[in-house]
Chains A and B, each alone.
Chain A
Amino acid sequence: MLITRRTALLGTALAAATPLRFAHAEDTIKIGGIAPITGPAAEAGKFMQYGANMALDAINAKGGVLGKKMEWVVEDDATTNPGAVLGFSRLVARGDCVAYTSSIRSTQVNAVAPDVLKLARPVMFGGTDPSLTHAGNPWLFRTRPNDSFSARVIADFGATTLGKKKWVIVHSTDAFGSNGMKALVESLDKLGIKPVLVQGYTNQQTDFTPVVLAVKEAQPDVIGSYFTFENDLGIFARQLRQLGVTVPWVGSPSIINTTSMKLAGPTLWGTYGVADYNQDSSPEARAYFDEYVKRYKVNPDNQSTWLYDALMILAKAMNDAKSTEPQAIRAAILAIKGYKGTEGTYTFDENGDGLRGYNVVRNEKGQVVFDKHIDFAS
């Protein structure tokens, strides 16, 4: 056999890589996860990695899961639905993950949901589209409150606390934004309010002037919003202020995300947001905040906390069940009652929803100020 220089180099590279692979493949409990490592939400992917690191350190410091260390194996979803499906199928093809984490973006959770049903293993996710846990898929578990609750809080805060009756709703036309909008319209309807304008937009826009002008012409006294991507929110906020619209604005959680606040800067000052995570909402949230800031020198937001809670809950469920069998993990998750996470106190219902409340916060010159936490019975 003729050994060329290229073959020799390839062989050397493989030989060098092999021990690493074996070292990596030690006997751990593996949780597969998709994350936006590339694409427009790549910064959120970085925050997810931070949250996962903190959860794994906490879990493994206390003995891990069933006597083994827990590991989060990540695949890039490229911030797209096809990327999410491909990343998830890669994880499944490994064959060694006992459970999975999906996305904070509802549209991507929707995209992988059929594969989750076929796989029949627990998948934790952070998307807030209410329908995701009501579509007959028993393997999806949510570690954020869904938008039926965020919509109720936005509507109640805007209409009752701020006393505003003339609403404009601006929303992304993806699954998250559309379902958030529907929930907000329903919540306002229960308060006897019909929005004067409901305005959708497609994600990743270069200009929001038509949307802002439509909002301005509707002459609202309050804006409610469901934005998916922070850069869209930043461009909208900038143009909204430039064109002279200064009415109160109560937004879904993206309005107080670390990235949104950095991009939009002063144009978001004075706005309100409903936040599933806020450092002043509980001692657990505060402890997470302090440790996260110490480690990563940036404030945490829900991009990391939903995943932190998801991994902590999976570890607890497997330890409670003393098993990694899918049905046993599922039963243990559904049995969780009163577990205190960073996002709130978890009690799972039969649909897989663990939380039923939101915090109301205000952007005070770039600082997120906690106002109150609102929990619902159902």
Chain B
Amino acid sequence: MKLFHQPLKTQKQPMLKYTISILFLLCFFNGWAQDEPIDLNPQDTIVRKQTYGLRVGVDLSRLIISQTSEGYSGLEFVADYRLKQKLYLAGELGNEKKTKQEDLYNFTTSGSYLKLGIDYNTYENWYGMNNSIFIGGRYAISSFSQTLNNFQYFDTNRYWNPDSFPNGSSEAVEFDGLTASWLEFVFGLKAELFTNLYLGGSVRIGFLVNNKEAEEFPNLFIPGFNKVTDDSKFGIGYNYSLTYLIPLYKKGPKKNKGEIEKENEQ
């Protein structure tokens, strides 16, 4: 906390400040640089209403990776609905198909997923700003199939096959009717680029609750959950969302006791 009481010190280091600013410029759009001026007039009688509505959009990362990566196609729609000042009902609906070449086998996972939960905004916006740094939780389900495209046997003894691992079947075997469900912790943010248009990003840590897999071939990838690691129930995912807010109504924040008393005095 001490740092905040030394504003002069930072001003004495313009070069450092400058460097860091350039770093920010290189990384992100500085779209939120212009803000509404702060109204410091205590006599202000304007009711500061907040916009409530439905925010819908897509995940940009899945769109881009679908274009750039040969073994992947995926699409994710994201949406949230503002329930309270800081609380949002949030969800994602997506479809992914991923082909992965491991050392000795090649498989394709294909399926859809739905995630539902809440986001809680921890960011204190100044009036007029609509950015958020949120934490959230989701319950997610996925239904998918996994196809073993081909494989070679792992055999360290090379007596009969000195040149390569012996080929197993090259006939694709599909394991379908696979399902998984997991809990997800979300940390992310959204910044308003233009009026009602938001750019956001989030990372997600998933914890597998239920994983129905084929006996012969376990689930190595789950749509929405990402890579499944051996002997671990955790998975990591992320998204970059571009969303549009459909404003539905405006509502002022709940007045606290102090404010109401003040109004009565006047």
A in complex with B = no
